[in-house]
Structure 1
Amino acid sequence: MSILDTHYDKWSWDRVKRQFSQLVTLSIPIILQRLGIMTLGIVDTAMVGHYSTVEVGYQGIANSALASTLIIAFIGLLMGTMVLTSNAYGAKDYKKCGQIWRRSIPYSLVFGFLGFGICFFGEPILLFLGQTEDIARGGGEVIRVLSIGIPMTALMLCSQFFLEGINRPLPGMIFMFIANLLNIFLNWILVYGHFGFEPMGVIGSAWSTNIVRIFLAGSLLFYIVFFVDREKYGLFDKVDMSWNIWRKQRHIGYAAGFTNIVEHLGFAALYVFAGLLGVISLGAATIAFTVFGVPFMICYGVAGATSVRVGIALGRGDRHDMALAGLCGLAFNGMICLPLMSILHFAPDTIAGIFSEDTALVAATIPLIALSAWMLFLDTAQTVMGNALRGLQDIWVPAIFYVFCYSLIMIPLAYFLTFTLEHGAIGLIECIIVASFLSLTLLSSRFFYLTLIKKQPEDDRRYA
């Protein structure tokens, strides 16, 4: 008799419908908010790509090698905010939710200003990674400008994670929509030169990004302070900042940050390999990964919602709801992936043409976009499972899995496929497919072992 048969009453159709409905309701604004983050980058890439083929390469290497790496690290380091907030929310300990957010504010700013300092060494870092002097100079200049908005990005993330943890993702979605309109307008002014400004190209786009990040951080803080129930969540209550009191919040962040950095550095290595292939290959990879990021970010919203739903179930001590939340996350992710995969596979030429009019660049980009359709489901599904494990507060075993898949396997395989077998930029996509399949297998096995097989107390509330 299977586990599902043994606990049939725990898996009733009504329960499945409830969990799936709540997941979808939570997912939609998170998806739109995450998609908004991605479209900020798409607008930047498209506008700079039409301005200069060379400068879009500077933009790509600046973001992948350092600026985006820092932000990805912040997302992980601050993940404890969302995980523990959702756990406390599920346990109806609302004041603890506010305490978690209050602790995350100075914590986020420390990392933000640390990232600000690191960005001043952008050019030497790119030279160390083997980039040409021209690419290192251009990319380094972009990184220095982007450094100004890095602290605000960290502050924005901790506030957004708090709102998602208490099941209120809608404000983040609305502010992100406004931010995208602002970004388009600012790029039009600063990249091409309007309203008396000289054309600034990729540097103008970087300044636009800074302004948008300041707007987002300020808007979310304003909303929390004035529109979230202060008494219920204890937003202005005295908070114990003793180091040991919020140890778990930091440790979840350490593991998630480590995991995110490992995975992202694996992708950053792919950009480095693309740069070694030449400016056209670097530009093609930049556009292809930017395009892939759109459907990925949509599915990443599902992953975030899955983490919250699993975390709420953990706060209630309901193991079966934890497993069900993970299953619903995988199912909803698959439903979203299928039409998105079709678009990538059947319309790569149309998509590539949006980003550049350079014939050589478009030709190099088309096969990368088409092949990326096949890694979409695997990469997004493993992301859903990774976030589900974070919702369970299972942090270090998944981190080991990510090191294995995205460092020990993907990077050497990328070099082998790209240079040894001479697959060129196509090899950069092929290695991700292999690594994501391995990651999905390992993470899924771990999640369902913890929720359906491993013996533990039914009343397992871990939110403090």
Structure 2
Amino acid sequence: MTATSRLPAWARAKDILDLIRLSVPIAVSRMAMMLMGLTDAIVLGQYAPGELAFVLSAWLPIGVSLGFGIGILLGVQVLTSEMLGTGREAGSGRIFRRGLWWSLVLGALLTLALVPFAQPFFHWIFVTIAPEGQGAGQAVPPDVVASSTAAVTRILAFGLVGHMVSQACSYYLEALRRPLLVTIVMYTGVVINIFGNLALVAGWWGFPQMGAEGVAWSTTVTRWLIAIIMLIFVAALTPGFRRSPPAEAGEARRQFDVGTGTAISNVAEWGGFNVTFIIATWVSIAANAVYGYSVQVMGVCFMFYLGIATATSVRVAEAMGRGNPDEVRNAGRLGVAATFVMGIVMGVLLVSFAGPISRLLVREDAIIGGVAIAPAIAGLLWLAAAATVFDGLQATASFALRAQGMVWLPSAIHLSSFFVVMIPVCYLLAIVLERGAPGVLEGAFIGVFVAGTLQLILLELKAARSGVKRAA
């Protein structure tokens, strides 16, 4: 028996190469979304580090809205991948157009909801329900935090439609195995956003220094430009706007159902993490900066995992379309193994370069409320590295499950892990036990640990059941 034959069935070289070929461009393109946020934070860290709290707190309603909308749109990718797996991709335009309409309607409705209610919402968060003593002795009073965060939220809300349209296009292009196009467009957006930040935050070329609001305007304009470019690519290079055969019975409902579960999970994860920014701000503006920059690093790492998760979803969906349960099971397990390998690599890098990374994020002499921000960030990056492994694991396992049609159990795990576990633990450690920024990150780690572990167990149970059915 050769060494090759003793390898697990999911570890075949051709499958590993296929996962790499698909996941690397997706990860690189997805990272562009996170790099936009990271460059926002870096420029703020050099020119107005105390205003990061306004941007991060604004992402509570914005992130929940985007997470819901982007989740609904996942059905574009899953159903298109299935059609590709059976050679019917030429008729996939109806899948894309359905998703495009959903992105327009959802984005518009959410924008109309956020713009008028941002101010009262954040006044309630930072003034009405804030823990007793919050804001005492701080340079920025709670009512100023509330009004500044609301202003950033309103600006970001105007980019929701553009963001959702570009996401529908991204899902469609990636499902048709054209991730390189998405990568090109997204990095074009990163460059545009950098110039916008330099103009509106740093004050280059004679523009006023607008701080957090400058970041928001740069992000919003960039999102619309990305959406326009994406639509041009879809129209010119895919069957997205061409006539399609009639839809099969129940297709629209299935597309919506696949996305609905993901939407709920996104609301849980994105909402949960963004609530932790609120908790950190309740501690202090300094705690928000330290924790917020640490999570920005986690977000960049997560894009690598998201590439693996998305590629795994595509490979699982294609195998489902071919009706091959062995390939389905092996594709899921390969994705999980790749996630752990990536976690080891990312962990070593973050721990080894913690100091330089922290100084890249914020100027070395930045002090907020008596706290030296850069050293505090460096001291937390080892825990951020550990958290990213389980954050990636929950993404890969849940994506593989949804591609097999299991929607609600992964969503229930996300809801319980992030709302029932993570948020209360963050509050307990950071506020009640007064552990500050480290306490918030410790709570976040516990939340993603629970989510990742439970999603993996569920994936293996699903694989075991499919194996029993095949044997029968």
TM (norm. structure 1) is 0.90
Q: Which deviations, in whole Å up to 9, do the C-alpha atoms of 1:308-339 show, x marking residues without a partner?
A: 11111111111111111111112222222222
Equivalent position SS for 1:237:
coil
Match of 1:270 in 2: 276
Matched, 1:170 2:180: yes
CA contact (8 A) 2:422 2:446 kept: yes
Q: 1:10 to 1:280 in 2, by over 3 A?
A: closer
Query: Is 1:49 paired with 2:59?
Result: no
Question: What is the RMSD computed on CA atoms of the aligned residues?
Answer: 2.3
Compared CA separation, residues 289 and 208, structure 1 to 2 (3 A): same
State the distance in 2 between where 1:377 and 1:354 align. 23
SS at match of 1:207: helix
Residue 365 of structure 2 corresponds to residue 353 of structure 1: no
2:28 maps to what in 1?
32
Which letter maps to 1:334? F
Pairwise CA distance, 1:42: 0.7
Q: How does 1:364-403 map to 2 (within 5 A)?
A: 364-403=376-415
- 8 A contact 1:319–1:452 mirrored in 2: no
C-alpha distance in structure 1 between counterparts of 2:277 and 2:9, whole Å:
47
The Cα shift of 1:275 comes to 0.9
Give the share of equivalent positions with the same residue, in percent: 27
Deviations along 1:191-250, one digit per CA (max 9) or x if unpaired, are 12233322222222211112211121111111111122x3xx7x3215768995501111
Which residue does 2:331 correspond to in 1?
325
Pairing of 1:82-121 with structure 2 (within 5 A) = 82-120=77-115, 121=117
Match of 2:439 in 1: 427
Counterpart amino acid of residue 357 in structure 2: I
More off after superposition, 21-30 vs 363-372:
363-372
Residue in 2 that maps onto 1:3: none
Aligned pairs, how many? Answer: 446
The code of the aligned residue for 1:212 comes to T
User: Structure 1 CA distance, aligned partners of 2:232 and 2:254?
Assistant: 27
Once the two structures are overlaid, the 10-residue window that deviates more, 125-134 or 105-114, is: 125-134
Alignment counterpart, residue 214 of structure 1, candidates 206, 224, 230:
224
Pair 1:249 & 2:255 matched: yes
CA deviations 1:142-162 (Å, max 9, x no partner) are: 111112211010100111101
Structure 1 stretch 315-324 or stretch 68-77: which is displaced more?
68-77
1:204 aligned residue (214, 219, 225): 214
State the distance in 2 between where 1:390 and 1:245 align. Answer: 16
Task: Name the SS for the 1:393 alignment partner.
Answer: coil
Aligned counterparts of 1:330 and 1:456: Cα–Cα separation in 2: 21
Contact 1:119 1:144 in 2 (8 A): yes
Please list the CA deviations of residues 395-416 of structure 1 after superposition, one character each: whole Å capped at 9, or x if unmatched. 0011111122111111222222
Task: Name 1:23's counterpart in structure 2.
Answer: 19
- Give the structure 2 partner of residue 81 of structure 1: 76
Q: Deviations over 1:339-383 (max 9, x none)?
A: 211222233232221222214222332323232111121111121
Choose the corresponding residue for 1:158, options 146, 152, 168.
168
In the TM superposition, what is the alpha-carbon distance from 1:12 to its structure 2 partner? 5.1
Shift of residue 19 of structure 1?
1.6
How far did 1:419 drift? 2.5
- 1:194 to 2:190 alignment: no
- Which amino acid is 1:178 matched to? T
1:344 paired residue number: 350
* CA deviation vs aligned residue, 1:265-299 (integer Å, no higher than 9, x gap): 21122111101101111111221111111111121
Structure 2, unaligned runs of 5 or more: 128-141
Amino acid at match of 1:104: G
Cα contact 2:126–2:143 (8 A) shared by 1: no
Out of 428, 431, 449, which is 1:416 matched to? 428
| Aligned residues of 1:310 and 1:391 also touching (Cα < 8 A) | yes
Q: Tell me, what secondary structure is at the counterpart of 1:236?
A: coil
Q: Report the alpha carbon displacement of residue 11 of structure 1 after superposing the two structures with TM.
A: 6.3
Task: Verify the 8 A CA contact 2:339 2:393 in the aligned structure 1.
Answer: yes
- 2:150 corresponds to which letter in structure 1? G
Distance 1:287 1:214, change over 3 A: same
Decide which of 141, 145, 166 is 1:135's aligned counterpart. Answer: 145
User: For residues 156 and 243 of structure 1, what CA distance do their matches in structure 2 show?
Assistant: 28
Is the contact between residue 345 and residue 371 of structure 1 (CA under 8 Å) also seen in structure 2?
no
Are residue 449 (structure 1) and residue 461 (structure 2) matched?
A: yes
TM-score for both structures, normalised by structure 2? 0.89
Contact kept? 2:91, 2:245, Cα under 8 Å: no
2:133 aligned partner: none
CA shift in 2, pair 1:215/1:239, >3 Å: farther
CA distance in 2, matches of 1:368, 1:127: 30
Tell me by how many angstroms 1:421 deviates.
2.8
Are 1:185 and 2:187 an aligned pair? no
CA contact (8 A) 1:375 1:433 kept: yes
Q: Any conservation in 2 of the 1:309–1:325 contact (CA below 8 Å)? A: yes
Structure-2 change in CA distance of 1:420 and 1:315 (3 Å)? same
Offset of 1:264 from its aligned partner? 1.6
Secondary structure of the structure 2 residue equivalent to 1:425: helix
User: Post-superposition shift, 1:435?
Assistant: 2.3
- Where does residue 149 of structure 1 map in the other structure? 159
d(CA) in 2 for partners of 1:363 and 1:134?
A: 27
Quickly say closer, same or farther: Cα 1:452–1:48, change in 2 above 3 A: same
